[in-house]
Amino acid sequence: MTISEAAGAHTLRRALGLWGATAFVVTNMVGTGIFTVPAIVMSSTGNGLAALGVWAAGAGLALCGALCYAELATRMPEAGGEYHYLSRIFGNLWGFLSGWISFFVGFSAAIAAAALGATAYADTLLTGWDATQTFIPGLPITNGGAAAAGLVILLSLFHAGGVRPSGRLQTSIALLVIAAIVCFCVVGFATGNGSWSRIGEGTRVNGLWWVALLPVNFAYSGWNAAAYLAGETVNPRRNLPRALIGGTLIVGVLYILLNVLFLYALPTSEWTGNIAVGKVAAEHLFGLRGSLFVSLMITLMITGSVSSMVAAGPRVYYAMARDSVAPKILGRLGKANRAPYVALLVQAVVASLLALTGTFNTLIVYAGSALLLFAGLAVATVFKVRRDQARDVTSFRVPGYPFTPIAFIVIVAVAWIEGLRSEPLATGAALATIALGTAIYFWGKNRGWIAMNGPRRD
């Protein structure tokens, strides 16, 4: 083996094309959020037009973030996303905290919750199978929990086969998801079983507009998915901006379209804070059979989201291991396909254990606020990167700089302040998670388990 071959065996393989990278963004973003969060937003704003405004603002926020990440990804085209950017610019501590949040909130817990959601929706499609029944007598494990754990393990084993087949799978799922949503909306409007006047109905807009942006951000989370696989994307300077921006725009249009359909279908009196809006809207538009189609569509969407997160998360842990801020074993790659198989398996074990409990519930504001904070910090690195690499004119450059990143950071800050005031327990829990990660970082550093030096610059 030559020196170059030996070095290549320890690096990720660039085999993910534009369509595969875009598909990762679409499938990571589209999940249960769009069928549950609209009810939260409607109850927070009290008005259909205001609710659509929040979703449009969320799309704008995600697009601003995607534009900034596009520049970061082309200037630093390595695996890891926020971890890589924050480590390079702000140092190991902030990179470690980003990875810490990614592992517990952004990926493992989110994968478990989404997998449980997929089995819950599949329950309505499978006659004679009950997701809530006990799987093993004497143990608190349900059929749904066991199926969710099995789904996570199966997808993890598949993605251990390399990024090329992963990209093909996500592309297929993304095309099916887009086609299903477009079909659902077109046929739904065509039934005539709704009213366009409902879009403008509702009470006067209340003061929880900013708070509603946190769960909306959770529904839009995933717009940065392609950045995690930057180290495996072919021609990253060209393909990453297109994937990040294109995928975000596609989902933004789909989300606005779905929200208009929900408002068209449901009378104002039936909107509550916990309504399963997708299912109820389908029943209004198509009858009881419509809810079965929605269940099938949501099951597909969630499976695609689980698959995307399963593949993306281990790239963060691989990058952390490479920089000696996580166990080195997480940086091991397969000999043939150079996929981070150890990181994939570790994540699969943690997510499967969470899923097996069958009682794991996603705290949307908690997850949304934690992820939004680190996305805001990552966007802030654009200013220093632009200054340090002023001579690099070949990278993607954020349109509207510096106003685009400033707008993103300001919105994040205001949303966080409003979240702390209106939802102190959820946003406080996010701060507590960060504080715990900080303590673990310094403890590990004093023990010599975490590198004293900064991250690799190669």
Q: Which domains does the chain have, with CATH numbers?
A: 12-447 (1.20.1740.10)
Checking if the pLDDT of 46 tops 60, the result is yes
Query: Which segment of 106-110, 252-256, 397-401 scores lowest on mean pLDDT?
Result: 106-110
Checking if the pLDDT of 344 tops 60, the result is yes
Percent of the chain residues topping a pLDDT of 70:
90
Q: Give pLDDT, residue 117.
A: 78
Checking if the pLDDT of 354 tops 60, the result is yes
pLDDT tens for 284-332 read: 888 877 778 878 888 888 899 999 999 998 999 998 888 888 888 998 9
What HEC string does the chain produce?
Answer: CCHHHHHHCCCCCCCECHHHHHHHHHHHHCCCHHHHHHHHHHHHHCEHHHHHHHHHHHHHHHHHHHHHHHHHHHHCCCCCCHHHHHHHHHCHHHHHHHHHHHHHHHHHHHHHHHHHHHHHHHHCCCCCCCCCCECCCCCCCEHHHHHHHHHHHHHHHHHCCCHHHHHHHHHHHHHHHHHHHHHHHHHHHHHCCCCHHHHHCECCCCCCHHHHHHHHHHHHCCCCHHHHCHHHECCHHHHHHHHHHHHHHHHHHHHHHHHHHHHHHCCHHHCCCCCCHHHHHHHHHHCHHHHHHHHHHHHHHHHHHHHHHHHHHHHHHHHHHHCCCCCHHHHCCCCCCCCCHHHHHHHHHHHHHHHHHCCCCCCHHHHHHHHHHHHHHHHHHHHHHHHHCCCCCCCCCCCCCCHHHHHHHHHHHHHHHHHHHHCHHHHHHHHHHHHHHHHHHHHHHHHCCCCCCCCCCC
Q: Give pLDDT, residue 361.
A: 42
pTM: 0.83
